[in-house]
Amino acid sequence: MDIQFVAGFGPIVDDTEGSTRFYRDVLGLPLEGDEYPSTDAIEGVKHFGLWPLSGTAQSCFGTSLWPEDVPVPHGGIEFEMASAELVAEAVAELESAGYSMLHEAREEPWGQTVARMQTPEGLLVGFCFTPWMH
């Protein structure tokens, strides 16, 4: 098998209207349509990985156990920013739109600056700056 790139990604949503507001109106993704909001206008994916929940919990909360009072995510996506400073600006924009972060912007041990949240459907979303991808 010779995988060349990620051809598509999409969360499975319970609240299409709320999720559309988040992805289209807050993040500015060019989604079209009402019953199946979608787009073919977002270029490439630089990384795909199977992230164990224990590692995810460690990165978000500093412990290998996911908190019982936070929905367990079943997928994740990271949106790359042009700089570490823009990660903090994204956090401020999201919080001013009424969204809560799992953690603020911070530098991970591997050198990536990232802030994470969960979307209305429970998807783990990172807003990051990954120096080696630039």
Q: Examine residue 28 and state whether it is found in any structural domain, yes or no.
A: no
> Once rounded to an integer, what is the mean pLDDT over residues 2-23?
81
Q: Which range marks the domain in which residue 120 is found?
A: 51-134
Q: Examine residue 88 and state whether it is found in any structural domain, yes or no.
A: yes
Q: Examine residue 12 and state whether it is found in any structural domain, yes or no.
A: no
129 CB-near residues (< 8 Å, 6+ apart) = 80, 81, 82, 83, 84, 86, 87, 112, 113, 114
- Give the three-state DSSP class for 100: coil
Look at strands 76-80 and 124-129 and give their pairing. Answer: parallel
What is d(CA 79, CA 94) in angstroms, rounded to the nearest whole number?
Answer: 13
Number of domains in the chain: 1
Q: Examine residue 18 and state whether it is found in any structural domain, yes or no.
A: no
Express each pLDDT in 44-74 by its tens digit.
877 777 788 888 999 999 999 999 999 999 8
CA angle 102–112–91, rounded 5-degree value = 40
Average pLDDT of the residues of the chain: 89
Q: Per-residue confidence at 82, pLDDT binned at 50, 70, 90?
A: very high
Higher pLDDT pick, 8 / 95? 95
Residue 7: the pLDDT is 66
Q: Examine residue 117 and state whether it is found in any structural domain, yes or no.
A: yes
- Distance spanning both ends of the chain, measured CA to CA: 28
E strand residue ranges, the chain: 76-80, 101-107, 113-118, 124-129
Residue 100: the pLDDT is 95
Q: Examine residue 56 and state whether it is found in any structural domain, yes or no.
A: yes
pTM (predicted TM-score): 0.81
Which residues make beta-bridge pairs with 79? Answer: 127
Q: Which CATH number fits the domain that encloses residue 69? A: 3.10.180.10
Express each pLDDT in 15-33 by its tens digit.
888 999 999 999 999 999 9
Q: Is the pLDDT of residue 12 over 90?
A: no
Q: Which position has the token pair 């319970």?
A: 14
